[in-house]
Homo-oligomer: A and B are copies of this chain.
């Protein structure tokens, strides 16, 4: 069976790019940390553990390349840093994000909730949608639970 790396290699080759060891190491780090939303610096530090000779500029260049090929998506949650998120295979659309304003955690919503909304945008606004970004800011379920527990315990101590 064909691995995810193999498929990415083909994508590179079909645009006459090479899969160098540095690029492979970078992609592996992304695969191993699919749940996270790593910044370029984060990726650099993780790659460095396995391939210490790599330079930060190369990581940036690789991430840019992968973004161009739509293998990763570049996202920005409003702090000054770009983060990079592997596209789920076969996903027609970019997934959605839940950013917790308490603890900073970023959760993902993989199902596409925007079908109806996109139909409205295409019809009513005559906009041909190629991609979307949807992020909710609020309180994640963990912080809600924590807040409830604290309210409980302080009540019992009064």
A contact residues vs B (CB 8 Å cutoff): 74, 76, 78, 98, 101, 107, 109, 113-114, 116-118, 120-121, 125-141, 144
Q: Are A132 and B137 in contact (CB-based, < 8 A)?
A: yes
How many copies of the shown chain assemble into the complex?
A: 2
Q: Which 10 residue pairs across A and B have the least CB separation, nearest first?
A: A126-B141, A128-B139, A130-B138, A129-B138, A131-B137, A133-B135, A113-B117, A128-B138, A76-B76, A98-B127
Q: CB-CB < 8 A to A138: which residues of B?
A: 127-131
Q: Are A133 and B133 in contact (CB-based, < 8 A)?
A: yes
Q: How far is the CA of A96 from the CA of B116 in the complex (A)?
A: 15
Q: How far is the CA of A77 from the CA of B131 in the complex (A)?
A: 13
